[in-house]
Amino acid sequence: LLSEAQRERFDVILVRPRNPLNIGAAARAMANFGFMQLNVVAPYEPSWREARSAVGAGKVLQNASVFSTLAEALGRGTLAVATSALTHRRAEQRVIRLPALAPYVNAEFECGGRPAIVFGSEKRGLTREDLSRCHLLVEIPTDSRQPSMNLGQAVAVCLYELVRPANNGPETEGPLTPTVQTPVDSGMLDRLEEVIDRTMTTTGYSQRITAAANRHNLHLLLRRLRFQAADARRALGFFRRILWQLEDRDR
Amino acid sequence: LLSEAQRERFDVILVRPRNPLNIGAAARAMANFGFMQLNVVAPYEPSWREARSAVGAGKVLQNASVFSTLAEALGRGTLAVATSALTHRRAEQRVIRLPALAPYVNAEFECGGRPAIVFGSEKRGLTREDLSRCHLLVEIPTDSRQPSMNLGQAVAVCLYELVRPANNGPETEGPLTPTVQTPVDSGMLDRLEEVIDRTMTTTGYSQRITAAANRHNLHLLLRRLRFQAADARRALGFFRRILWQLEDRDR
């Protein structure tokens, strides 16, 4: 999980992007995850103009830097991470999978470095020459039947991985229940149980031979469901109403 | 990390999408991460036609199902996960952050359930009514200055999180779940809801001004309580019996 200051010292580099919508999408993902520095290498000029002048282009695009080569764009960078979909090509540098990336980036910041992540063009990805300027090749774990990601989506997924809080402490939360409410106490459950049991009898849902089993199931169910106090109060009111109406009929 | 078979039993649901490029991008992200079942709710018709006929639209779009309501789209689903950017709105169900999602989905598969993830429209996200049909609300940890993600990118990030191999040795622990039982599907909950709602009206528990709020609370409650299929069947039988007796009285 990168700090805000770290995100500002992290370069996102797009090499030869062609599609203005993808450029815009990449910039938007950066803003979504708090990254500021976009470096664009040799963009297709009309696309770059269009992306930059788009409505809502935002600060990231306004402040982007354009370079003619990847070498220049990497300038101050100390760790260049290339991205790729799963590929059978023989990589010439260390390959890691995306979920393993964050520790490398953190370590780089810790020793005063400036990491960068590099995305290739939509059609061709990064060339061998581009890759040779990178320290690490990170693979996004895509399906082998459809490995190639859209550029904007690839940027979003990689940046998410870098800001994603680790989730490895044991979850302290229990099963699905909202956090702030008051659990129901046993006395309340007993009252609810009693009125439901009477309703089962009054309606004929419980017959003589099934009554005990139904009551037992009801016991178990009410405890398993983890009612909150407010739920139980409502349910109690509702069943009293039902019972009152049914008994009214019988009078 | 979901298996291939699990990904095929996982529904991705887009509610009222407007932009054909976003629909296409969502489908592409699904293919990238090995998900097959796209359910689309009330899409803007011309956009849907355009997305579906786009070059390279692919299998996911060809096999997508269209529904007119979220309730129908959730049909067989047992755990509906709503998505949202960081929001100040007061949520009415349990909120977790995206990195904590996988254990919930895994636990659901392990007890034989069918999870679904639900994305709202580009402009408005999910409505309160949509949200009330969901068990969990998952937040993507975006920057508060630019919280709102593009739809296709949000889908990519969420699905990546679900297939992302854990990178920290011991798998994270899942939430507590009941052991051997079958979770209830959304269609069954809808039927149960309907009969309880009718009972609330017939008994006069719901008056004209409280009916909508009561129905909304009932929605939330039934999803929060995590009924098992057998519980729901019993409850349905019981309420049908109540209703039959009450309506019998009125004849």
Q: What is the pLDDT of residues A18-42, one digit of tens each?
A: 999 999 999 999 999 999 999 999 9
Q: Band of the pLDDT at B247, cuts 50, 70, 90?
A: confident
Mean pLDDT, chain B, as a whole number? 87
List of chain A residues whose C-beta atoms are within 8 Å of the C-beta of residue B156: 149-150, 153, 156-157
Write the DSSP symbol of residue A186.
H
List of chain A residues whose C-beta atoms are within 8 Å of the C-beta of residue B227: 225
| Separation of alpha carbons B177 and B171, rounded Å | 17
For strands B94-97 and B65-67, give the pairing: unpaired
Q: Band of the pLDDT at A228, cuts 50, 70, 90?
A: confident
Asked if A174's CB is within 8 angstroms of B143's CB, the reply is no
Residue numbers of A between 25 and 54 with CB closer than 8 Å to B: 25, 28-29, 31-34
Extract the tokens encoding A92. Answer: 């010439």
Contact between B33 and B163 (Cβ < 8 Å)? yes
Closest partner residue to A167 (CB to CB) among B58, B172, B202 is B172
**Predicted local confidence at residue B128, as pLDDT:** 86
**Predicted local confidence at residue B122, as pLDDT:** 87
In chain A, the largest separation of any two C-alpha atoms, in whole Å, equals: 91
B186-214 pLDDT per residue, tens: 888 899 999 999 999 999 999 989 999 99
For strands A94-97 and A79-85, give the pairing: unpaired
Q: Which residue has the higher pLDDT, B112 or A86?
A: B112
- What are A67's strand-pairing partners? A41
For A141, nearest residue in chain B (alpha carbons):
B164
pTM for the structure as a whole:
0.82
Helices (H) and strands (E) in chain A, counts: 11, 7
How far the first Cα of chain B sits from its last, in Å, is 57
Q: Which of A36-45, B60-69, B139-148 has the lowest mean pLDDT?
A: B139-148
E strand map for chain B: 11-15, 37-41, 65-67, 79-85, 94-97, 115-119, 136-140
Q: Band of the pLDDT at A120, cuts 50, 70, 90?
A: very high
